[in-house]
Amino acid sequence: MLICDEVPHNMRGTETDDRPRSRPDGRAVSYIRRAAERAGMIDLRSDTVTRPDQAMREAARDAEVGDDVYGEDPTVNELEARVAEILGMEAALFVPSGTMGNQVAARTHTERGQEVVCERESHVYKWELGGLAQHSALQARPLDGDDRGVLAPAQVRDAYVEADGHRAGTGLLTLENTHNSKGGTAIAPADIDAAAEAAHDRDIPVHLDGARLFNAAVAHDVPASRFADPVDSVMTCLSKGLGAPVGSMLAGSADFVERARRVRKLMGGGMRQAGIVAAPGLRALDNRDRLAEDHARAERLAAGLDAIDGLTAPTPETNIVVVETDTPAEAVVTACEDEGVGCVAFGEYRVRFCTHWDVDAADVDAAIERVERALA
């Protein structure tokens, strides 16, 4: 294992090199130090930290590949067809990230200058670097959802702006499920139906940010296609709880996906022999049902944290545990890291923990003990 002051072998001079052995730049040193510090840590910062299993690594190694920009990568084509079938859509598109999937959808559905109605705490508005404005010259019209992130049909209707000689009008409604900032809440299909219907009544397309859509499907015990049915496009991630190393999927009608493919290219997402990263995604799709294990462990974690003085942890709906703290969140995060538990500040007095497939029941119990020790 590297220690903090070591220089990796590939950054050193050779044994016959007489030049002074240079150190890596500051960023490299930081990465080395962070990797060493996280050795032995129970990492509950996010389900994005999952590592591909051996089957995924072997699938990547053995993947049949071709040029995906030409539509000639058989592994990517298989992945796109399978996801389209799972979601009940005509077609799907493989993209490098969920953020790109959301931004491609927004650009494909809209005209420049139009308004995008979204929930104020939604990922597409809050956590994507103002991409709606930067990529597509769109205006966001954020609305305050309820405490679970649900937008009521009346809110959608009231937010609608008709295009005229002075206003560009409403071009898109975005919804999110599960809702990240609200603590992984699994929005009920009926709530998605109602908001989408209110938009469609005014001929406004609807995009669903379903980065953790399969978590919502497991929580409600319905097929993922049930959530996709009332919307015009949906994005879902392979690289969170499903465990793939990279990649998300954007699905919709065949016409929408064809147009989205051009936008993906515009945004730098046109990949070549992408089957190497698509193959683990195919394997990841087989992990959908095991998300229930993450949910159960999140409940176990929340119960243990709630019993610690100074913490209040409501029962989670999926795999995200949001804890209210008596002391500033940043101080709690630092104390937990010192005891070997990774978590993130989620507000001034809120901390997020996230279970995933690299964390088993023993890890959850150990994490509870370490957090209690950190806050003692």
> pLDDT tens digits for the chain (376 residues)?
333 333 333 333 333 333 333 334 444 444 434 544 556 899 999 999 999 999 999 999 999 999 999 999 999 999 999 999 999 999 999 999 999 999 999 999 999 999 999 999 999 999 999 999 999 999 999 999 999 999 999 999 999 999 999 999 999 999 999 999 999 999 999 999 999 999 999 999 999 999 999 999 999 999 999 999 999 999 999 999 999 999 999 999 999 999 999 999 999 999 999 999 999 999 999 999 999 999 999 999 999 999 999 999 999 999 999 999 999 999 999 999 999 999 999 999 999 999 999 999 999 999 999 999 999 9
Picking from 136, 147, 81, 134, the residue whose alpha carbon sits closest to that of residue 112 is 136
H or E element: which one contains 27? Answer: helix 26-37
Picking from 73, 37, 21, 23, the residue whose alpha carbon sits closest to that of residue 274 is 73
CA–CA distance, 285 with 303 (Å, rounded to integer): 30
pLDDT score of 38: 59
pLDDT score of 40: 86
The CB density around residue 24, as the number of other CB atoms within 10 Å, is 15
Q: Do 103 and 133 touch, CB atoms closer than 8 A? A: no
Using CA of residue 176, residue 178, residue 180, residue 181, what is the dihedral sign?
Answer: positive
Structure tokens at 357: 């497939």
Amino acid in the structure at residue 173: L
In the block, residue with structure tokens 């944290």 = 305
Structure tokens at 105: 């959808």
Structure tokens at 91: 């077609």
Structure tokens at 365: 């119990």
Buried b (16+ CB within 10 A) or exposed e, 242-256: bbbbbbbbbbbeeeb
Amino acid in the structure at residue 62: D
CA angle 224, 228, 231 (to 5 degrees): 165
Coil vs helix vs strand at 250: strand
